[in-house]
Structure 1
Amino acid sequence: MRKTTRITQGLHEKRAKVTVTKVKRRNIIVLAVSMFIANVAFGMAFPYLGVYMRLLGASMFMVGLLSVAFNLTSTVFQYPFGWLSDSTGNRKGFIAFGVASTGLFYVAMAFVGSATGVLILRTLQGIFGSAMMPAHSALISELSTRAGSIFGLFNSIENAGFMVGNFLGSAIVRYFGIRKLFLISGFLLFVSAWIVLLIRERPTGRRSILGMILVQEGRESWRATVKGSAFRKLMRGHLGLFYVTVFLVMIASGQFYGVSSVYFKETFGEWSVGVIFGIESLAAALTGYFLGKLIDRYGAKKFYLIAIAGYGLAFLLYAVVRNVWLVFGIAFLSGVKWVLTINSTSAYVAQNVSVRERAQGMGLLNAMMSLGWVVGPLIGGYLSGISFQLNFMSTLVPLGLAFVLALRLPG
């Protein structure tokens, strides 16, 4: 009797494990499809926000404020939304709410009549759209025990979606106009939100936030986890110097990318904006894995220095080249330097921060990136009002300082 009971219990446990595995696999597929569609929408709309502001009469400084407003509000409001998601054990609901909210504000932008209105909507988009961010990271982490693999999978899927959106956005603007672009982006985000709700989620208790998401170079989102306990320790010595160099590099990045879409539009035409961003995304997708293997073999510091030099070269070439076909080649180089920066800086933190504090180290890395993207667009917006070339050339100042300081880092 006891033997029969043990066999029956074992069969029930085996069936339960198989069921859980099937549900997780289904959830991975549903979330992947949803996030691909969402990133197509992001890739369509994001590059043309600055262009739209200019069409509505905004100054270049006001264009720069778009990035500042979104970064600040999305960062501030992630924690309360993350706390609510953890408290309720609800992931898909907050993801769907954030995605749908983002779509709603894109639709509203299609009907707004002033640059100030777009800036206000972008600020609100940062507030309500941030509802998806902590829940998105937490849900992904709960879909597999192999965190690195599952995040790598979703990063690839979301980057591919962003690239597709870049190219589609260029075609839509060319044939239908910018306002229709925002309407289509909003519709795709509504579809994405509906698909997320198909996830089968089991209610659980309170859980810690895995990560927050911050906007970065040509992307709607990026993960970051920051806790105060290790901050002072991480900012001491060579690690503190490293984080300062990252902040300086991202100031230069924000200077350029905060206004680049307007520059591309005025120099090469509206159609070029999505194509150039798309080529950057394509380069990042194609070279990321290969560059990561090289970093593992030869060391993070060497490739971080190459990445900083790549920033300077790319921004210098963008400032002087007027042939759009040559600019496409520069865009590929620019995409490579971006993924090289992400891979090398992440690897440097992993190699120099203890396992116990590694999440906080990675979080501080992304926090420095975000902070640079708050300062950079302010500078870029002001200087571009004088001259785009002046702004692009001036990025060599923080980049040069970052390169010199990075030379002092231990290998």
Structure 2
Amino acid sequence: MIHSRKLTYLILGIVLLFNIIGMTIYSYLGRYLQYLGTEKIFIQIIVTLIPLSSFIFPPIFGKLSDRLQNRKIFILIGGVSLPIIYLLFIFIQNLTFIIILVLLYGVSSSLLGLSFILFQEIVFNDQSYISYYNSMVVLGWFLGAQLGGIFIDIYGIQNLFLFLLVFSFINLGLLVFLEEERDIIIEGFENYEAQQKKLNLLIEDGEFPLNTSIYYALLFRNFGIRPIMSILTIIMAFHLSSDSEIGFLIGFNPLIQFFLMILMGKLISVKNQKIFMVIGYLLSSIVIFGYIISIDFFSFLFFQILVSFSYSMFWSATHFYIAQNTTPRNKGKYISLANSSFYLGSFSGGLFFSGLLLVNSDYYVAMIPLIFFPLLSALIIILKFRNLEGE
């Protein structure tokens, strides 16, 4: 059951464009700062600010949108602000102002991230459609990395934000048609809840008892693996002489995730959510170890496939669980907490990894302790996670 197919496809288009933009700036901001002559330590700090702002603001906007029962206004503000930010990036090269713009980008992306909440509401938590949303996210990552790279090869890194400006205007053009019929959404959820006897008992208390272990698991997984993703091209370059091979390996990850996200929508159920979470987190630890021991193209390819399975499994299972146990009254709060935990892990893990490199500048030595954090995520889920509906 979905509220509006037109609105469903519109949001899928919006999230595709937004993630093309997001992956492009994540992938090439460091190179742009290098082009400006920024010192390495400042490049690392500025790039780290993106996940910093992405864990601070989502809970605020999510809870506020729950209270106001309005997602559209927040999404529109985010969509309008993006072209302004990129336009300022084109004309500003002062490092202090660039830091401010990066933080503002984090605010805007947090606002646009509420589209996931609205999407779950208009599809009434349909697991298959949620998997389509996730697949559009990773397809955007793939296209952002590839199209951004092609554009930079042709027009130069100095025109990076011209590329982002064009896509942000296209995204804004789609956002103009965004609708939110809140009364119909709430009525649809009430009808759905009335058919779920077990779910209905939980609603009487006004709040779903979501298991908090999912947030700690997300945090520790990203704490361990995300810092490595930011230096993965450097690690690969130690063993691979071809930039085209490295580019293929990096782009292959989100491309295969596109299909895996759709597959997870078919495979994951209430009864096996915990299993998929645990396996996903265990695979993340194996992948970190794999990056340490990889020495050629095919070994890197194998572990890129594993990391694709890892992310698709734990991320899909976690968000299916949240979707099935929330309503329009609290959905913004819980989804935003998940996203915040995810980015808090990225930010704090990046700082931890930087500290390890200060102690020992060898990347491989610094990567070894990170293996244990996704294992901790798996252990947390094994010991603490319990899906009341599935058990």
C-alpha separation between the residues in 2 aligned to 1:203 and 1:309? 40
TM-score (norm 1): 0.69
Equivalent positions of 1:114-263 (< 5 A) are: 116-134=96-114, 136-137=115-116, 139-141=118-120, 143-145=122-124, 147-199=126-178, 239=211, 243-260=215-232
**Per the alignment, in what secondary structure is the counterpart of residue 392 of structure 1?**
helix
What runs of 5+ residues in structure 2 fail to find an aligned partner?
190-205, 387-391
C-alpha separation between the residues in 2 aligned to 1:272 and 1:63? 28
Q: Does 1:296 align with 2:269?
A: yes
Q: Could you tell me which residue of structure 1 aligns to residue 45 of structure 2? A: 62
Q: Could you tell me which residue of structure 2 aligns to residue 376 of structure 1? A: 349
- Post-superposition shift, 1:282? 1.4
Q: Report if the CA contact (8 A) 1:78-1:133 is conserved.
A: no
For these two proteins, the number of residue pairs brought into alignment is 361
Q: Does 1:397 align with 2:358?
A: no
* CA deviation map 1:64-113 (0-9, x unaligned): 632343324433652587379x47x582x543431242243344445544
Q: Does 1:45 align with 2:17?
A: no
Which structure exhibits the higher relative contact order, with contacts defined as CA atoms closer than 8 Å and separated by 6 or more residues? 2
Q: Report if the CA contact (8 A) 2:7-2:179 is conserved.
A: yes
Q: Could you tell me which residue of structure 1 aligns to residue 16 of structure 2? A: 36
* CA deviation map 1:145-178 (0-9, x unaligned): 5654544433333432332222212322333332
C-alpha separation between the residues in 1 aligned to 2:123 and 2:217? 34
Letter in 1 for 2:370: T
RMSD: 4.4
Q: Could you tell me which residue of structure 1 aligns to residue 65 of structure 2? A: 82
**Per the alignment, in what secondary structure is the counterpart of residue 198 of structure 1?**
coil
C-alpha separation between the residues in 2 aligned to 1:374 and 1:391? 16
Tell me which moved more, 187-196 or 75-84: 75-84
* CA deviation map 1:162-207 (0-9, x unaligned): 3222221232233333232332122111121023213466797998
Q: Could you tell me which residue of structure 2 aligns to residue 342 of structure 1? A: 315
Q: Report if the CA contact (8 A) 2:66-2:330 is conserved.
A: no
Q: Could you tell me which residue of structure 2 aligns to residue 6 of structure 1? A: none
- Post-superposition shift, 1:319? 3.2
C-alpha separation between the residues in 2 aligned to 1:103 and 1:202? 27
C-alpha separation between the residues in 1 aligned to 2:244 and 2:378? 35
Q: Report if the CA contact (8 A) 2:51-2:106 is conserved.
A: no
Indicate the percent of aligned positions where both proteins have the same amino acid.
17
Q: Report if the CA contact (8 A) 1:259-1:380 is conserved.
A: no
* CA deviation map 1:250-308 (0-9, x unaligned): 21133323554666678868767764443211121112343454443983343333222
